[in-house]
């Protein structure tokens, strides 16, 4: 057991007032704090973020909140998994100091008169097929950063557009919290771990790693000079003929998140994709430099 630390037993906090007090206490005691925001249904991907947070701070705070404002009508908000007791146990075994698990009413009180607009950062990739999604993400993470003013926040590369938008939000809104990216954790066959993978039937699960294979192939060919459009079309057709419904496959500029037709040397890019298998949407990406 760590000595001299405020939390030797993990706390589960449900109110904004208490989490602000807890973070304030940790900070005045001289502890560096790290926040790992999640929607729960925790898996090894989330655990890797918690481990990274331990490397960077004395105390790790995990937030668990399925944020309604980032789900469009008809998306899976209602059926999103919420195994809260299991999640709390996992956090305990990963030596998390505080779990912040507010109710919907605690996070959103009364009418909201102000909205966010991620503008062109949300014009492509997931932002295009999920209108309003990233405005909701910015809204909730802005609230989280105000209520959990940790020193550092860890986000996964798995949601690269989210990461880039939140990095931009922190810079534009003068959040002093440091934003850190953590690598994507995968199953042995390459499929990126996701809370939504549990929706896949055995047959769909078997086909799911093909998205990652397509992204690897596109990235490798693009980095060696082939024109993006042709290789994307080729991989898209391959996925479709194997039962995937391609939402998008794109190469975008790392900074602007705008699609590119040709690559410049010395620049950073993202190859990103989203597919549906049945009703389940799977996303993944690769970052590369030319």
- The reply to whether 271 sits near ligand AMP by the rule CB under 6 A is no
- Contact (CB, 8 A) for 84 and 100: no
Q: Which of residues 2-41 bind ligand AMP (CB under 6 A)?
A: 38-39
Task: Single out the segment in contact with ligand AMP by CB under 6 A; choices: 19-27, 55-63, 92-100, 182-190.
Answer: 182-190
The answer to the question of residue 130 lying near ligand AMP (CB under 6 A) is no
User: Quick one: which segment of 101-109, 115-123, 128-136, 155-163 binds ligand AMP (CB under 6 A)?
Assistant: 155-163
CB 90 within 8 A of CB 38: no
- Catalytic site positions: 46
Comparing CA positions, the residue from 47, 66, 70, 36 lying closest to residue 151 is 36
Of 87, 94, 159, 204, which one interacts with ligand AMP (CB under 6 A)? Answer: 159
| Rg of the chain (C-alpha set) | 20
Instruction: Choose the binding region for ligand AMP from 152-160, 198-206, 247-255, 273-281 (rule: CB under 6 A).
Output: 152-160
Interaction of residue 283 with ligand AMP, rule CB under 6 A: no
Provide the strand spans (E) within the chain: 11-13, 33-38, 59-64, 98-100, 152-156, 178-182, 245-253, 268-277, 280-289
Q: Which of 33, 63, 161, 184 binds ligand AMP (CB under 6 A)?
A: 184
Q: Does 193 bind ligand AMP (CB under 6 A)?
A: yes
Q: Give the span between the Cα atoms of 276 and 145, in whole angstroms.
A: 32
What is the Cα–Cα distance from 229 to 253, expressed in whole angstroms? 15
Shortest Cβ 194–ligand AMP spacing (Å):
5
């Amino acid at each position: 057991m760590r000595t001299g630390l405020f939390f030797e037993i993990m706390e589960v906090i449900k109110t904004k007032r208490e989490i602000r007090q807890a973070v304030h206490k940790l900070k005045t005691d001289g502890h560096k704090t790290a926040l790992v925001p999640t929607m729960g249904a925790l898996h090894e991907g989330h655990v890797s973020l918690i481990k990274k947070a331990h490397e960077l701070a004395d105390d790790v705070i995990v937030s668990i909140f399925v944020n309604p404002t980032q789900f469009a009508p008809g998306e899976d908000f209602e059926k999103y998994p919420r195994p809260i007791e299991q999640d709390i146990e996992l956090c305990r075994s990963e030596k998390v100091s505080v779990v912040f698990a507010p109710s919907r009413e605690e996070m959103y009180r009364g009418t909201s008169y102000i909205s966010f607009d991620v503008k062109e950062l949300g014009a492509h990739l997931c932002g295009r097929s999920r209108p309003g999604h990233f405005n909701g993400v910015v809204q909730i993470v802005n609230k989280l950063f105000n209520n959990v003013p940790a020193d550092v926040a860890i986000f996964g590369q798995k949601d690269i557009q989210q990461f880039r938008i939140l990095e931009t939000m922190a810079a534009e809104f003068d959040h002093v919290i440091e934003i850190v990216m953590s690598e994507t954790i995968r199953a042995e066959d390459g499929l990126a771990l996701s809370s939504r993978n549990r929706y896949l039937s055995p047959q769909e699960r078997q086909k799911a790693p093909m998205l990652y294979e397509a992204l690897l192939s596109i990235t490798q060919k693009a980095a060696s000079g082939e024109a993006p459009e042709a290789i994307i079309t080729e991989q898209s057709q391959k996925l479709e003929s194997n039962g995937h419904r391609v939402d998008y496959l794109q190469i975008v500029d790392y900074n602007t998140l705008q699609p590119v037709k040709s690559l410049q040397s010395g620049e950073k890019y993202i190859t990103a994709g989203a597919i549906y298998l049945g009703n389940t949407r799977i996303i993944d990406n690769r970052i590369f430099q030319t």
